[in-house]
Structure 1
Amino acid sequence: MLEIAQEAARLWGFDGARVRLAARRENVVFRVATGAGDFALRLHRPGYRSDDELASELDWMHVLAAGGLDVPDPVARPEGGYLATVGEHQVDVLSWVPGAPLGRAGELAGVGDRAVFCRRLGAVMARMHDISDAWERPAAFTRPAWDRDGLLGEAPLWGRFWEHPHLKPAERVLLERVRAAAGPVLARLEAGADYGLIHADLLSENMLRDGDRVFLIDFDDGGWGFRDFDLATFLLRFEDAPDYPELRRALCEGYAVRRQVRQDELDLFLLLRALTYPGWIADRLGEPGAAERSQRAVATATRSAWRWLETYGGTP
């Protein structure tokens, strides 16, 4: 991987730069140290996104950065264009973002007052959505859609969650039932929903804190979707926290600079977010730590399904 990254760095004119591994997740990220500063070079997971989808992601990130949002800004190659291919890997380069992650799931390391942070984060989400809505996108722009089909259809973006191989028979029945019940509810909301470009993966791991600034990173799964899905993605990991009611209220208050959030609709998207994770992990069961993550994903999805059905769909 290092040799591929070094070859890719030269395509951006970074001859002689120091290239070292920074992170290995869905993408493999290298830190490239040059006389002009540091950059993040990403080797994308083969086959996950098309060239057009990645080019669209990078165009969108540049617009967000130009609009004043704290996100990495794509760096064009000397001859133009944000994307290159080296071997089987699609490659791009971003400005290096300072700071450290806020932690793993359910953590907010170093933020001080958690409710104050969530209120501020809600306003940042609103700003991201506003900038995205104001952008006149190129005709070739294409990103995945977290719409009704992408969440509950026959081929959801992250897989058929109700067919996860670790589900017990009763759990599979439960997830099939909640899928059938939630579909018509989501269909009724679609006409008046706040729908547009969303990050779709705003977890603590994808936010870097540098002093008072918080940078949003990892737009790999960003695309079209319901704006409440962004709020739900962040909140889901905090549902077991003692201060969850305060964090939820603060996030929605911050987002209210854009619009008021209906609590029943947010509950629906918390359910839909929870349902995505068994589908996601099902394709990664051979990776280190997958067994524990799979157990957690199934437990969260089934708990969310019971709760939503009891509240909105009749007692299971």
Structure 2
Amino acid sequence: MSAELPKTFRNALDDRARQALVHWGVAEQSPELLKYRENAVFRVRLADGRPAALRLHRSGYHGEAALRSELQFMAALAEGGLAVPQPIASRDGRLLVPLPHWHAFAAQHADVIDWVDGESLGESGKPLAQSPERLVEIFSALGASMAEMHNLADRWTPPEGFWRAAWDEEGLIGDRPLWGRFWDCEGLSAAQASALSKLRLDLSQGLASLPAPARDFGLIHADLVRENVLVEDKAGDMRVKLIDFDDAGYGYRLFDLATALLKNRREPAYDVIEAALISGYRSRRNLSDEALTCLPLFLVLRSLTYVGWFAERPELSDARKRVLRYADETLALAAEVGLR
């Protein structure tokens, strides 16, 4: 990760991280940069030696209320027994600390969350390494954890001022989707733009006619891709942990299931993966066969979000190539499941 950033900027980013760590009383260290995407994420050490994750949030991506609400949601899930990161308060008791404008950095917020042990389920674009038997175990546990997350969210009363974006019809296919206007973004061919515009109308009709069981709606993770699912084995006991709630918000529960499945559709063991995820989910929460008839619709909706996401980030070296690829993949998926 550090090799991809210019040395001058990387040094400034490290200094920015130490500025934030002053608020936790541990500025005298060399933070280890793990990820630089929506947030800059560092592995750091707390005063007692425990590892933790420092996040420098990208300026303008989420407002203060949304960032604070993310931390409140994670804390509620952890209190309910779910294996998710917990926020760690600064020396003066704040979970979220504002950082002023400084050199190349706009004003932004920082937080620290506890370190979550485990190995990521996999990496997008690379085949899963686990055996089919192991995948059954993992995805069954993931389905159960996802269902319990939805159960806890339904039982929880958010505090006053809680706000997270909604992955509803407007947030997915409205005039200003959360991850960008996928049907008229720069880089699409005329044929792709036309086909995606038509697909958008078809999806709107599909959402309007969802059967009641498929309308299950509430707080969701919204980004349970492989990298955000950690697997830990301790003394023969396997446990999955959920990380990166940066995009958590209000949405259809089927959207969470679709997100966990989409990038695995070309796996040889996909049928096993899907069956295990659904079985695990059903072990903790009701999910009817009627609701599952709408899963293909949400797979297509999830796929479309990647078109808009990369179109709004032209600074990424392969953004244009990915826009074209995800557009073609989404249209092919829509045809495969009967939506085109």
Q: Distance in 2 between matches of 1:118 and 1:30?
A: 28
Which residue pairs with 2:163 in the alignment? 142
1:74 Cα shift? Answer: 0.3
Residues 140 and 191 from structure 1, CA distance in 2 versus in 1: closer, same or farther, beyond 3 angstroms?
farther
Q: Which residue pairs with 1:259 in the alignment? A: 286
Specify the alignment match of 1:285 in structure 2. 314
Which residue number corresponds to residue 299 of structure 2? 270
State which drifts further: 299-308 or 229-238.
Answer: 299-308
Q: 1:56 aligns with which of 69, 82, 89?
A: 69
Letter of the 1:23 counterpart: K
Aligned match for 2:124, one of 105, 108, 112? 105
Q: TM-score, normalised to structure 1's length? A: 0.92
- Cα distance, 1:301–1:307 mapped onto 2, change above 3 Å: same
CA contact (8 A) 2:70 2:246 kept: yes
The aligned amino acid for 1:31 is R
- 3-state SS of the aligned residue for 1:163? coil
1:8 to 17, 20, 28: 20
Alpha-carbon contact 2:26-2:47 (below 8 Å) kept: no
CA contact (8 A) 2:187 2:320 kept: no
- Structure 1 residue 35: Cα displacement: 4.2
Q: Is the 8 A contact 1:161 1:276 kept in 2?
A: yes
Q: Which runs of 5+ in 2 are unaligned?
A: 1-12, 101-106
Task: Tell me the secondary structure at the aligned position of residue 183 of structure 2.
Answer: helix
Helix, strand or coil at the partner of 1:122: helix
Any residues of structure 2 matched to 1:136-175 within 5 Å, and which? 136-175=157-196
Instruction: Give the CA deviation at 1:76.
Output: 1.2
Please, which of 132, 139, 150 is the counterpart of residue 118 of structure 1?
139
Secondary structure of 1:3 counterpart: helix
Give the aligned partner of residue 329 of structure 2: 300
Structure 1: state its 5+ residue gaps.
none
Letter in 2 for 1:140: G
User: How far has the Cα of 1:79 moved from its partner?
Assistant: 1.9
SS of 2:32's equivalent? strand
Query: Against the structure 1 CA distance between its residues 264 and 190, is the aligned structure 2 distance closer, same or farther, given a 3 Å change threshold?
Result: closer
- C-alpha separation in 1, matches of 2:68 and 2:40: 18
Check conservation: 1:274, 1:301, Cα contact below 8 A. yes
Q: 1:245 aligns with which of 259, 271, 279?
A: 271
**2:115 matched to which residue of 1?**
96
Any idea what SS the aligned residue of 2:210 has?
Answer: helix
User: Contact 2:311–2:320 (CA<8 Å) still a contact in 1?
Assistant: no
Which region of structure 1 is more displaced relative to structure 2, 88-97 or 221-230?
Answer: 88-97
What is the aligned partner in structure 1 of residue 253 from structure 2?
227
**Matches of 1:18 and 1:177, distance apart in 2:** 51
* 1:108 CA drift (Å): 4.2
1:202 maps to 2:221: no
Q: Give the match's secondary structure for 1:14.
A: coil
Distance verdict in 2 for CA 1:35–1:11, change over 3 Å: closer
Q: Is the 8 A contact 2:25 2:47 kept in 1?
A: no
Give the Å deviation of 1:136.
0.9
Equivalent residues of 2:138, 2:231 under 8 A apart: no
Aligned residues: 311
Which residue is 2:83 aligned to? Answer: 70
Higher mean Cα deviation, 19-28 or 122-131?
A: 19-28
* CA shift for structure 1 position 22: 2.4
Distance 2:183 2:153 in 1: 33
Instruction: Give the TM-score normalised by the residue count of structure 2.
Output: 0.86
